[in-house]
Every structure is written in C-alpha cells, then in structure tokens.
C-alpha cells in the first residue's frame, strides 16, 4: 500500500527555515522524504546540515522577505538547484509590540510587508510554477491571532488575519488547478518571537493557565501538521486553517 504521507521526490521551499517553527517544519518534511530549499536572511546552515543527514538534498537560498524583490528569484533558485518546486511553506515573519495608541507607521509597514505582502507574492510566484505542472501544496503559517485580537500587536494581528483570508481566496482560485492552499495556526510556541512573553512571569502564567496541554508548544509540534498538508493525504483539504495549539482555542 502506498504511504499517503510519503514526500519522496518532492521539493519544498521553507521560508524562515534557520530556526524555530521554520526549522521544525523543514526537518519534518525532510524526514518524510522531501528535499529542502531553506530560505532566509540568515543562512540556515544547521537546518541544511540536519536535512542532509537525513539523506535529503538541501540548499540555502538567501533572501530578505521584508520586500517582494527576491520572490521570483527564490522560486527560480529552488527549481535550478533542486529540480522543481512542489511545496511552499510561508513561515518567515516578524512581530513588533507596542500599545495601539503609540504604534508607528514604520512598525506597521515592516510587519505587514513581511508577514502578508511578501507571502502573497511568493504564493503567486510559486503558484505560476505549480499551475504549469498541474499540482502543488502551499502552507501558510497563520496564528492564534488569525482568530483572536491579541494585545499590543496590531500589525501582527492584522497580518495574520490577512493570512487566513489569503489562504481561502487562493484555495478558491487554485484548487481546480491541482494546488492545495492551507494554513497552520500555531499556538503559543517557544521561539524567539515569543521570548518576551515567556520572560514576563504574569503573561507566561496566564498563557499556561489557559492551555489544556499545560505547556508551551515546540517547533517540532508543527511537523506532523506540515507533513499532512504537504502530502497527498490532504488532497481534498482546501482553504483550511489547522490550529496546532495544545487546545488553546477550545478553552
């Protein structure tokens, strides 16, 4: 019987793959058989070495996704270096914190440009390639704040709410072309982006008190969801936002 979760022969582009959730997803895809193009401002050397240790091909693609300038090159380099593009994981993102009364235009634009604008145009560039081959998997990284408002992160909340809508419209347009577009919404995951929350004793306690699993998530917790959405096992899943949150939204 064919394993529907097998990614052997597939090429996956993962943005922000040098650490945290991006690294966890990249290595899970590699363990399932995919070759990895690790994209980021900081070279993802550790990720690439670990993927190669799993027997996969893996390459670094340097790109600063604070603008859309590199998006076409990312797709072209992945195809040139690894021979194709079957899976795109839009993980790269930033966050800025301040009271909404004091939030600056600079912080608004920086977050929305990276977290939403570049994601759309990278989806577009990858989508053009995938349409030609008649298949592809796109996984956007959403957030608990795709569903909720959050506190002191207005541009992040707006960008992640936008990811939810973007995932659905692209699924509507591309599902008939053989392209699956879905999203993963991580709960509270112990990464650099959440370091300030982990360090705040009161906020840390209030977060843990609400999570039924009673712990922060780890980047590895995203791996199974990513493999599912990247594989043929999810071929009839479209426009879905899969929460991997330890039960946060159920509370």
Question: Low-confidence residues of the chain, pLDDT below 50?
Answer: none
- Is residue 4 situated within a structural domain? no
- Is residue 251 situated within a structural domain? no
Note the pLDDT of residue 194: 85
Range of the domain at 15: 11-245
User: Would you say 158 and 150 are in contact if contact means Cβ atoms under 8 Å apart?
Assistant: no
- Is residue 6 situated within a structural domain? no
The neighbouring-strand residues paired with 60 are 38
Q: Is-catalytic flag, 156?
A: yes
Note the pLDDT of residue 98: 97
- Is residue 82 situated within a structural domain? yes
Q: Which residue is catalytic, options 120, 156, 188, 216? A: 156
Return d(Cα 117, Cα 68) in angstroms, integer: 7
Q: How many residues does the chain have?
A: 251
Note the pLDDT of residue 196: 83
- Is residue 216 situated within a structural domain? yes
- Is residue 1 situated within a structural domain? no
- Is residue 250 situated within a structural domain? no
pTM: 0.96
pLDDT tens string 148-170: 999 999 999 999 999 999 999 99
CATH number for the domain including 159? 3.40.50.720
Domains in the chain: how many in total?
1
């Amino acid at each position: 019987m064919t394993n529907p979760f097998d990614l052997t022969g597939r090429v996956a582009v993962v943005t922000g793959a040098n650490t945290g959730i991006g690294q966890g997803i990249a290595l899970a895809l590699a363990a399932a058989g995919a070759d990895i193009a690790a994209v980021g401002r900081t070279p993802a050397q550790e990720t690439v070495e670990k993927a190669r240790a799993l027997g996969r091909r893996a390459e670094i693609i340097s790109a600063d996704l604070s603008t859309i300038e590199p998006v076409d090159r990312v797709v072209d380099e992945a195809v040139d270096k690894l021979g194709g593009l079957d899976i795109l994981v839009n993980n790269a993102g930033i966050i800025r914190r301040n009271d909404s009364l004091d939030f600056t235009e600079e912080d608004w634009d920086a977050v929305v440009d990276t977290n939403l604008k570049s994601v759309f145009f990278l989806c577009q560039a990858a989508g053009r390639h995938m349409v030609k081959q008649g298949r592809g998997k796109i996984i956007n990284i959403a957030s608990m704040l795709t569903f909720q408002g959050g506190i002191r992160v207005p541009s992040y909340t707006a960008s992640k709410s936008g990811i939810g809508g973007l995932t659905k419209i692209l699924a509507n347009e591309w599902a008939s072309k053989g392209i699956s577009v879905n999203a993963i919404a991580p709960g509270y995951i112990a990464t650099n982006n959440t370091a300030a929350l982990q360090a705040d004793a009161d906020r840390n306690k209030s977060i843990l008190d609400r999570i039924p699993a009673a712990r922060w998530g780890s980047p590895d917790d995203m791996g199974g969801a990513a493999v599912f959405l990247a594989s043929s096992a999810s071929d009839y899943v479209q426009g879905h936002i899969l929460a991997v949150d330890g039960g946060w939204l159920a509370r």
